[in-house]
């Protein structure tokens, strides 16, 4: 009982290998995937008819090239009649190859490339077919239906790709819209809306024990005088220059925003009050060294300084209370002469 099964397995493996090689030959020479071409290539790679192989080689190398008429002539002469083989024997070999085609059309989930009704019709026709040409006719139907399925799949894949690209584009647009909604157009920093969202998130994390944070409120000293003396365009240049300098001192998880007007805010995550004071002083000293001049006239704008208030978030403290304490510290810094840092109560 085991020997027939072994022979059958061997025959199936051989037919599958012939199938692979035949398809490879057709692809290599650009032959249309029609049943007669497939049958010729199948018997070519099997090596059973050396005369047929020689004629196929000549045809492939000829100037006229591979034509449907030449292929039909080879098939009629060498496969159907010329080799003396009986139609029944040829039918059995072709049935084996068509069975391999059907097997390739069945995917891992058990679904087929053609409908179940169509598949039953093909199997029924193969069972009653007595002539090799009829077997090839069934193969033609299968290939035609499969090609239709492949075309539909490609169209679906193309549509899916287009949809995916549209989704990605929409995501980018939504991200850009969100970014623009939280970005200050003049300085390129986060704006008040972005700051409020970041502060809310920081407070939520702090109340849940993720780590405390500190807030810096920063105001450019005598900014009204700069606008009155040099004009608002120069005032805008000062705002941009200060923003760039502040940004240079930021660490990876720091959050810098233009709070409004000439006022800026910084969130320092996982930072104690002593560390926040050191950061504030570094910012103040960096801005103190900043010297700006009018681009067109070369006129010196003068020294620019900032005042800062520093407050650390207290557990269960809301945003308004935290900002209020920090604002009071900033007001004291300005009332004490400006260009200084004051810690909140």
For residue range 296-334, list pLDDT tens digits in order: 666 777 789 999 999 999 988 999 999 999 999 999 999
The answer to whether the CB of 187 falls within 8 A of the CB of 240 is yes
User: Does residue 97 carry a pLDDT above 50?
Assistant: yes
Which residues lie below 8 Å from residue 316, measured CB to CB, with a gap of 6+?
207
- Tell me the mean pLDDT in the region 9-33: 71
Residue 86, pLDDT score = 47
Summarised one tens digit per residue, pLDDT across range 215-247 is 999 999 999 998 898 888 889 989 999 999 999
Q: Where in the chain is the domain with CATH 3.30.70.270?
A: 192-343
Residue 30's alpha-carbon distances to 25, 26, 38, 96, in angstroms, are 8, 6, 12, 24
**CATH class label, 192-343:** alpha beta
More confident residue, 295 or 227: 227
Question: How crowded is the C-beta side of 224, counted as CA atoms within 13 Å?
Answer: 0
177-181, 279-283, 316-320: range with lowest mean pLDDT: 177-181
Question: Which residues fall within 8 angstroms of residue 238, CB to CB, at 6 or more apart?
Answer: 220, 223, 226, 292, 301, 304
Give the pLDDT score at 244: 95
User: DSSP labels for 278-332?
Assistant: HHHHHHHHHHHT-EEE-TTT--EEEE--EEEEEEEPPTT--HHHHHHHHHHHHHH
Rounded to the nearest 10 degrees, the angle between the axes of helix 192-207 and helix 319-335 is: 120
- What is each CA distance from 64 to 59, 68, 70, in whole angstroms? 8, 12, 10
Report the range of poorest mean pLDDT among 88-92, 282-286, 322-326, 339-343.
Answer: 88-92
Lowest mean pLDDT among 140-144, 239-243, 283-287: 140-144
160 versus 181: the higher-pLDDT residue is: 181
* Torsion sign across C-alpha atoms 131, 136, 137, 142: positive
pLDDT 10s digits, 39-90: 788 888 888 788 889 999 998 888 788 888 888 888 878 776 544 444 555 5
pLDDT-derived band at 152, boundaries 50, 70, 90: low
Which pLDDT score is estimated for 16?
61
Residues designated as active site = 262
User: What's the CA gap between 206 and 220, in Å, rounded?
Assistant: 29
Can you tell me the distance from the alpha carbon of 205 to that of 207, in angstroms, rounded to the nearest whole number? 6
pTM above 0.75, yes or no: no
More confident residue, 15 or 270: 270
């Amino acid at each position: 009982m085991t020997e027939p099964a072994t022979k059958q397995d061997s025959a199936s493996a051989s037919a599958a290998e012939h199938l692979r090689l035949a398809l490879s030959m057709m692809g290599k020479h650009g032959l249309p995937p029609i049943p007669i071409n497939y049958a010729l290539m199948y018997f070519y790679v099997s090596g059973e008819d050396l005369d047929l192989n020689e004629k196929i080689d000549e045809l492939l190398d000829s100037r006229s090239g591979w034509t449907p008429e030449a292929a039909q002539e080879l098939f009629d002469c060498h496969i159907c009649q010329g080799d003396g083989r009986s139609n029944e024997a040829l039918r059995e070999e072709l049935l084996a190859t068509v069975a391999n085609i059907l097997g390739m059309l069945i995917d891992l989930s058990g679904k087929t490339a053609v409908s179940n009704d169509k598949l039953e019709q093909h199997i029924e026709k193969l069972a009653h077919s007595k002539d090799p040409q009829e077997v090839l006719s069934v193969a033609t139907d299968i290939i035609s239906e499969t090609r239709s399925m492949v075309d539909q799949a490609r169209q679906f894949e193309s549509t899916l790709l287009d949809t995916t690209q549209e989704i990605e584009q929409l995501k980018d647009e939504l991200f850009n819209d969100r970014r623009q909604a939280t970005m200050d157009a003049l300085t390129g920093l986060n704006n008040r809306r972005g700051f409020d969202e970041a502060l809310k998130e920081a407070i939520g994390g702090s109340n849940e024990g993720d780590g405390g944070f500190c807030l810096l409120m920063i105001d450019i000293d005598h900014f009204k005088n700069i606008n009155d003396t040099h004009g608002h365009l120069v005032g805008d240049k000062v705002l941009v220059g200060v923003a760039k300098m502040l940004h240079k001192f930021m660490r990876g998880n720091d959050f810098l925003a233009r709070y409004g007007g000439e006022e800026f805010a910084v969130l320092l995550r996982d930072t104690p009050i002593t560390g926040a004071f050191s950061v504030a002083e570094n910012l103040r000293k960096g801005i103190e060294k900043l010297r700006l001049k009018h681009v067109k006239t070369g006129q010196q704008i003068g020294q620019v300084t900032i005042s800062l208030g520093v407050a650390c978030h207290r557990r269960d403290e809301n945003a308004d209370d935290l900002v209020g304490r920090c604002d009071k510290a900033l007001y004291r810094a300005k009332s004490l002469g400006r260009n200084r840092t004051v810690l909140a109560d």
